Amino acid sequence: DTGVSQDPRHKITKRGQNVTFRCDPISEHNRLYWYRQTLGQGPEFLTYFQNEAQLEKSRLLSDRFSAERPKGSFSTLEIQRTEQGDSAMYLCASSFGTGGRMNTEAFFGQGTRLTVV
Amino acid sequence: GENVEQHPSTLSVQEGDSAVIKCTYSDSASNYFPWYKQELGKRPQLIIDIRSNVGEKKDQRIAVTLNKTAKHFSLHITETQPEDSAVYFCAPTGNQFYFGTGTSLTVIP
């Protein structure tokens, strides 16, 4: 296992198009997170999964964003009808956690840089 | 969700001086307290962490202190070096984790 991987690394799309990103977490990790980061800002929480269940979704996330983790392994993040404001780095992270004492560090993928033109 | 704040947002120190960054959080269920370092154009990476049953942890020039009653924890970097220049994020973790707003540290040679 070489860590968290994200695909693609870069995506340029025209405004109004749909895009889908993939994240493959570390295999033994049950938690998977999606973040969005723009230049000079901290990672902004989008959503997270514990196994296949999507447990939390940011209020800031519009209906154009949807994420899935159908088998509790890889996850996809889809953005429909992209807007220029969606241009950002989309980071995926995974960790092991139960809410109890077993929380571990999160490992990040290298991110997908989205540019909407 | 968790309310996480970091102070200061920017910090400049002379090489060799110490730097301290404080993180306050609101979720009393948080029990794992990591600090991440993000260099320009790279992904965040863990530099030190502490669990709720410990008050302080040190790893060479880096230390973290936790005050669970007051709901804050701090990152301490001693003998700073230019390669410490980066953005640092806290991420208190319970049922999930939220990043702090980040502190941009510049170490001036």
Of B46, B100, B101, the CB nearest to A105: B46
CB A41 within 8 A of CB B102: yes
Average pLDDT for residues A35-48, to the nearest whole number? 88
Distance, in Å, from the CA atom of A8 to the CA atom of A21, rounded to the nearest integer, reads 7
Which residues of chain A does B51 touch, with a Cβ-Cβ cutoff of 8 Å? 101
CA distance B24 to chain A (A): 16
Quote the tokens at residue B16: 């060799």
Half-sphere exposure of A12 (CA within 13 A, CB side): 1
A101 — pLDDT class (breaks 50, 70, 90): low
User: Which of A15-24, B48-57, B63-72 is the least confident region?
Assistant: B48-57
Residue B43: per-residue pLDDT: 92
Q: How far apart are CA B106 and CA B109, in angstroms?
A: 9
**Residue A107 banded pLDDT, cuts 50, 70, 90:** very high
Q: What is the pLDDT of residue A100?
A: 58
Q: Which residues of A touch B101 (CB under 8 A)?
A: 42
For A101, the closest of B31, B89, B102 (CB atoms) is B31
Mean pLDDT of chain A: 91
Which residue in B32, B43, B97 is closest to A91 by CB distance?
B43
Nearest CA in chain B to A99: B95
Selected residue of B97, B103, B106 to mutate for chain A interface (largest A Cβ count, 10 A):
B97
**The token pair that represents A11 in the structure block:** 């995506």
Nearest residue of A to residue B49 by CA position?
A105
Least Cα separation, residue B66 to chain A (angstroms): 16
Q: What is the rounded average pLDDT for all residues in chain B?
A: 92
